[in-house]
Amino acid sequence: MKQIKIILFSFLVFSLKVFAQNPVAWAYSLIKKTGSGYDIHLTARVQPGWHVYAQRQPRNAIPLPTRVMFSHNPLVILEGKTKEIGNKEIHTDEIIGSTDWRYANKLDLVQTITLRAKVSTGISGSITYQACTDEKCLAPKTVNFDLKIE
């Protein structure tokens, strides 16, 4: 019975360690441009040895791409696609024959918006991403953001 308790305790400690890992920290900001234009910055700080994936991937890519979703707000116009700023790495796995695009250290996702009227409002949404090392990947995670526009 004592061995079973030790095994269960060890499994619990291992599980908590895996689930407690959070190698990506997100920060959100809004930068006023001109007139009614703004840039939304969704910035990922990635711990050394880890990476997150680009929003768009080559056809033969296996990883889960990062996905940004904005909640509908009739006062906000999304201008174009969300841009990626960072040092994009191209990784090729010769064994399985796949290529992916990834970011280490920092990824800044920038979405330009325009307000339809001069009012205070907000913009919210979510980012779904997967953090990996060269040896393992964590389960995909979704984080929400909410920014006030004054």
10-43: pLDDT as tens digits: 444 444 444 458 999 999 999 999 889 999 999 9
- pLDDT exceeds 60 at position 51: yes
Write down the pLDDT at residue 92: 93
Query: What is the pLDDT, as a whole number, of residue 5?
Result: 40
pLDDT of residue 34: 86
Say which residue the tokens 């990506």 belong to: 24
- Amino acid 143: pLDDT: 98
Report the distance separating Cα 104 and Cα 133, nearest Å: 10
Burial of 87 (0-12, 13-18, 19+ CB in 10 A): exposed
> Residue 121: its pLDDT value, please?
96
Give me the sign of the Cα torsion angle 14, 103, 139, 133.
negative
Q: Give the position of tokens 């791409």.
A: 65
- Top-level class of domain 22-149: mainly beta
Q: In the numeric block, which tokens belong to residue 52?
A: 């997150």
Q: Residue 47: pLDDT band by 50, 70, 90 thresholds? A: very high
Q: Please, which residues have CB within 8 angstroms of residue 94's CB and are 6 or more apart in sequence?
A: none
State pLDDT tens for residues 55-103.
999 998 988 999 999 999 999 999 999 999 999 999 998 888 899 999 9
The domain locations on the chain are 22-149
